[in-house]
Amino acid sequence: MKKMNKSKYLFHASSPSAHMFKVIAEILQTNLKTSCFQLKSEGLFLRQMDENRATLIDLKLNASKFETFEFNPVGKDESVFIGLTLTHLYKLLKTVKKKDSITLYILHSEPTEIAIQVTPKNNNRITTSFLKIQRVQNILVDVPHGYNTDPVPLPSSEFQKIYKDILSIGKTVTVSATGSVLQFDVDAGGIVKRRVEYGDMSTKTDYDTPRYSELFDTEQLVKLSKVCNLSESLNIYTEKNLPFLISGDVGQLGTISIFVKCKINLNSH
């Protein structure tokens, strides 16, 4: 029998899309403090709520979409959880350019740190950083189900314009949905008001009652603004008694879904 070479890597993955990891790190560090990534043979995953339990992020990066992907757990473990301090992770990725490639790896001999190797397109320079892996408790979180209404597709560029429009006005925003139209209303103490609508206006009349209408802290939605840099289009789901949901692709690597609770649900919990 031919002897198999045992890999020195507990985990090793490479991708030409280093910039996507920079954007992911920025989104995560804006909403969370410490991440709990799950490494599996199927890919790299994260499902985590912020400390206020207001926002849930569900991230899936598929092994088949990486240039190379290797996961060699010890013993019978089918997955490994690693905690990373997100401010440090983003700091290490902050200088990444759009055409850079990235390699992530954990050595069996150094299981308490992850290496982040960034290579520019010309391959003349390789920068390798090392980040300490934190011991964190993985708290199982269920993803909300029951979104039966079709999403409103929203170009990322339009979402950027919407959050810029509402950010400058007030601290809270009412998000409503009528037909296939999303409506964002901001009221700064009755002195200044602004309304932004987006969608298929033919599905809405002045006499329709919104099928969905909830109040959010403006900051909650602004914290999600960088999701626009992951793909050209997003899907917005609004369903009564369920969190506001933004979902989209992470380049060619996978998907991200972000669930945001309205103020009344936050207060009730």
For 86-101, the pLDDT digits (tens) are 999 999 999 999 999 9
Please give the pLDDT value at position 4.
Answer: 36
The predicted model scores a pTM of: 0.91
Please give the pLDDT value at position 232.
Answer: 94
For 210-224, the pLDDT digits (tens) are 889 999 988 888 888
Please give the pLDDT value at position 200.
Answer: 87
pLDDT at 3 over 60: no
Please give the pLDDT value at position 1.
Answer: 29
User: CA geometry: angle at 108 spanning 107 and 109, to 5°?
Assistant: 85
- Mind listing the domains of the chain with CATH numbers? 9-132 (3.10.150.10), 152-268 (3.10.150.10)
The torsion angles phi and psi of 164, rounded to 5 degrees, stand at: -70, -35
Q: How confident is the model at residue 269 (pLDDT cuts 50, 70, 90)?
A: low
Q: Which bin fits 179, alpha (ψ -120 to 50), beta or left (φ > 0)?
A: left
Range with the lowest mean pLDDT among 5-9, 12-16, 67-71, 231-235? Answer: 5-9
More confident site: 78 or 118 = 118
Q: How confident is the model at residue 268 (pLDDT cuts 50, 70, 90)?
A: low
Q: Are 58 and 143 in contact (CB under 8 A)?
A: yes
- Across 2-11, 102-111, 168-177, the highest mean pLDDT is recorded for 102-111
Q: Which stretch of DSSP H or E encloses residue 160?
A: helix 156-167
Q: Are 41 and 134 in contact (CB under 8 A)?
A: no
For 151-162, the pLDDT digits (tens) are 999 999 999 888
More confident site: 68 or 264 = 68
What percent of the chain stands above pLDDT 70?
Answer: 97
Q: Which bin fits 158, alpha (ψ -120 to 50), beta or left (φ > 0)?
A: alpha
Q: Which two tokens stand for residue 153?
A: 């597709």
Average pLDDT score, the chain: 90
What percent of the chain stands above pLDDT 90?
Answer: 67
Q: Are 33 and 51 in contact (CB under 8 A)?
A: yes
Q: Which of 212, 225, 213 is nearest to 258 (CA)?
A: 225
Please give the pLDDT value at position 265.
Answer: 77
Please give the pLDDT value at position 95.
Answer: 94
pLDDT at 136 over 50: yes
Q: How confident is the model at residue 254 (pLDDT cuts 50, 70, 90)?
A: very high
pLDDT at 190 over 90: no
Please give the pLDDT value at position 114.
Answer: 97
More confident site: 2 or 55 = 55
Q: Which two tokens stand for residue 159?
A: 């979402």
- Burial classification of residue 49, based on how many CB atoms lie within 10 Å of its CB (0-12 exposed, 13-18 middle, 19 or more buried): middle
Distance of CA 90 to the CA centre of its chain: 14
